[in-house]
Amino acid sequence: MALLVQKYGGTSVGTVERIEAVADRVLRHKSQGDDIVVVVSAMSGETNRLIALAKDIQQVPDEREMDVLLSTGEQVTIALLSMALKKRGLDARSYTGSQVRITTDSAHGKARIRSIDTESMRTDLDAGKVVVVAGFQGADENGNITTLGRGGSDTTGVALAAALKADECQIYTDVDGVYTTDPRVVDSARRLDKITFEEMLEMASLGSKVLQIRSVEFAGKYQVPLRVLSSFTEGEGTLITTEETNKMEQPAVSGIAFNRDEAKLTIKEVPDLPGIAFSILGPISEANIEVDMIVQNVSVEGTTDFTFTVHRNDYTKAHSVLEQVAQTLGAKQVVGDAKIAKVSIVGVGMRSHAGVASTMFKALASESINIQLISTSEIKVSVIIDEKYLELAVRTLHSAFKLNETDGAVSEE
C-alpha cells in the first residue's frame, strides 16, 4: 500500500466525461489499497474565461479580488470530482486551499507556500477517504485567498506530497512522460523511463514545458519522487528522482531542449572599464527585463562588444533601454536580432564523458549551422543559432547523440 498524491491538469478534467475518467482511475488505485490525495486544476479554459470577465469590468483588475475570482475555477472541479467518486462508492472529501490550511505569503497572483497543516488530511486518509484538494491556491495569515501563479497546481501537488511524506507525486497531463526532445519535431524522440531532478530543472528552464520549474525545484528540495503520466493513456510515464544510474551506463546526453522565444542584443565598442557590465545590465534589470546568456568580447584598443539575450517579448523594450545606455557610455551602436533560437543538450552523464561539446559543435557544423553564442554548465551546453535552423539543429543533435536508440538508464517504450 502506498500514499500517492495525484495531480490532474486542466485538460485532464476539462469535461464531465474527463472528470468521470479521473474518478475511474482513482477507484482503480484505491481498490489496490493505495491512499490517495487528488489535486486538481480548473477545467480547461475556465481560468481564461474568468480573467476575461474581470477585464470586462476592470482593465487592470484588483489583485486581491482577482485571486478570489480565479480560485473558484478549482472549487468547481473539486466538488464535481468528489461527486463522481461518491457515485462510485468511495468516501471523498473536497478541500479548498484555505480549508486544507495551505498558508502562503500575501503576494497575490504569485504567492509562495509557507506551511501546510496536514492534520485534517491525515484524519480523512486514516478513515479511508479520498482527499480532493483545489490546486493553485491558499490563504495568507489574514485569511485572504491567494493564488500561486503559473503552474500553481503542480506546486500544490508537490507541496502536499512533501508535507504528507507521500511515496510518490504523480503529475497527470496530456503527454505520457518526458521525452528526449519534442516528438512534434523529432518523430523518433523517446520517452525517458527516468530522469534526475537536475536534468529536469535544466530541461524546464531551457524550454521543455512538461513541468513548471517551481514544482521541480520544490520536489528536488524535499526529495519528493515525481512521476509524469498521461491521463488519457495507460503507461509507466517518467520518474523524476535524485538517483543517478551507474556512471558506466549513463548516456552523455539525456535530452535536447529548445526555445524559440529568444532575442539577442549587442552594444558595440563600449569602453572596457571596471563595472561596465553593471552599467549595461543595471538599467536592463531596473526595467524588469530578465537576461539569459551573456558574452563580453576581448578588449581591443580599450573598447569591447557586450552581447546578451532576453525573452523575445522584451526585445523592443530592452533595445530602447540599451540605446539610452549606449548614449550615456559613449558606445558606437546597438544592434539586435529577434529571430534567433536556443538549442541545448542536457545530461548528468556529461560529468563523466569527454568530448560532448565537440560532438555537438561538429554535428551543427556538418549542417552549416552557425553558432552565435555558447553557454555551458556542468550538465548542459546551450547555443544560440538562427531561428530558421532550429528544427534541423534539434534533429541533427538527436541523431548525433543517438537519442533514438536504447542506451543506459533509458529504454524504449
Instruction: Inform me whether the pLDDT recorded for 385 exceeds 80.
Output: yes
- Say what the pTM is: 0.80
Binding-site residue numbers for ATP are: 7-10, 173-174, 179, 184, 209-210
Residue percentage of the chain with pLDDT more than 90: 77
Q: Where are the beta strands (DSSP E) in 141-208?
A: 145-147, 168-173, 194-196
Fold for 255-400, please state it.
Answer: VC0802-like (3.30.2130)
Q: What is the CATH number of domain 3-174?
A: 3.40.1160.10
Sequence ranges of the chain with CATH classification 3.30.2130.10: 255-400
Instruction: With cut-offs at 50, 70 and 90, classify the pLDDT of residue 173.
Output: confident
> How does the average pLDDT of the chain come out, rounded?
91
- pLDDT tens across 32-48, in order? 999 999 999 999 999 99
State phi, psi for 201 to the nearest 5 degrees.
-60, -45
Would you state the pLDDT for residue 207? 67
- pLDDT tens across 116-144, in order? 999 999 999 999 999 999 999 999 999 99
Q: How far apart are CA 234 and CA 161, in angstroms?
A: 22
- pLDDT tens across 51-101, in order? 999 999 999 999 999 999 999 999 999 999 999 999 999 999 999 999 999
State phi, psi for 364 to the nearest 5 degrees.
-65, -40
Binding-site residue numbers for substrate are: 47, 74
**Cα separation values, 16 from 76, 132, 176, 248, Å:** 11, 16, 22, 48
Would you state the pLDDT for residue 213? 81
Binding-site residue numbers are: 7-10, 47, 74, 173-174, 179, 184, 209-210
Which of left, alpha, beta for 133 (phi over 0: left; psi -120 to 50: alpha)?
beta
H/E stretch holding 384 reads strand 380-386
Q: Are 256 and 398 in contact (CB under 8 A)?
A: yes
Sequence ranges of the chain with CATH classification 3.40.1160.10: 3-174
Instruction: Inform me whether the pLDDT recorded for 19 exceeds 60.
Output: yes
Instruction: Inform me whether the pLDDT recorded for 409 exceeds 60.
Output: no
Q: How far apart are CA 262 and CA 147, in angstroms?
A: 28
